[in-house]
Amino acid sequence: MKEYHLKTIKQFVVAGSIAGSAALLSACGGSEQAAGIAPNVYTDSLFAVMKADRTNYTKLVVKRLGPAGAGAVKPDEHWEDIPNGTLLPAQMFRAGAEAVAEMTDDFTYSLQSKWPINSQNAPKTEMEKQGLEYIAANPGENFYGEETLGGVTYYTAVYPDVAVSDACTTCHNEHKDSPKTDFKLGEVMGGVVIRVPLKSS
């Protein structure tokens, strides 16, 4: 695996991973001027933070509120149109990705699916399509590759987005626009795509 010089420390701070930054410094020999880090180690670390945040929001907030909401808060796809609405997990994830995109162009991430309820979450590049097909056919495995877009070479990693709560499966299975209505707990529902521009050493 080739290693690349990336703006690693800045990216980990932007991603909000103190633990990830410490691990990264250790892997790089304690200095951001060290030889570098393998792209898959970098994207794996970013995904760990994203997965933890997404899982906790789903289980500790949305699941506990339930479909009818609790008190003054109700998770809803059209949360902006109701006084007590709050974002669904996929919407919260997208909001985070958009906020990161405003702070840095050192990496991007998105939640995509072979069976998107919202067409904007469908794969757009051949690498994204290959990645989603691979993780769906190989549960528990990740997909890594490189692609060139607009003259820039990117390291693209695709990670399985697994149904961690019946709040996930119920929402997708009962949604009128869902192309798949038999999701089960523990199944791959889509994938998190992380893309990093490469600068070889």
Establish if 1 belongs to a structural domain: no
- C-alpha distances (whole Å) from 19 to each of 12, 13, 35, 104, 185 are 9, 10, 20, 20, 29
Q: Is residue 81 part of a domain?
A: yes
Give the count of domains, the chain.
Answer: 1
* Nearest CA-CA partner of 3 in 192, 197, 140, 199: 199
In a domain, 147, yes or no: yes
Q: Which domain holds residue 62?
A: 8-197
Summarised one tens digit per residue, pLDDT across range 21-32 is 334 434 444 444
pLDDT at 49: 83
Rounded mean pLDDT, 85-107: 83
Position 3 in a domain: no
Using CA atoms of 121, 95, 79, 163 in order, give the dihedral in degrees to the nearest 10.
60
Within-domain flag for 2:
no
Q: How confident is the model at residue 173 (pLDDT cuts 50, 70, 90)?
A: confident
Specify whether the CB–CB gap between 189 and 163 falls below 8 A: yes
In a domain? residue 53: yes
Q: Residue 43: inside a domain, yes or no?
A: yes
**Global confidence as pTM:** 0.69
In a domain, 180, yes or no: yes
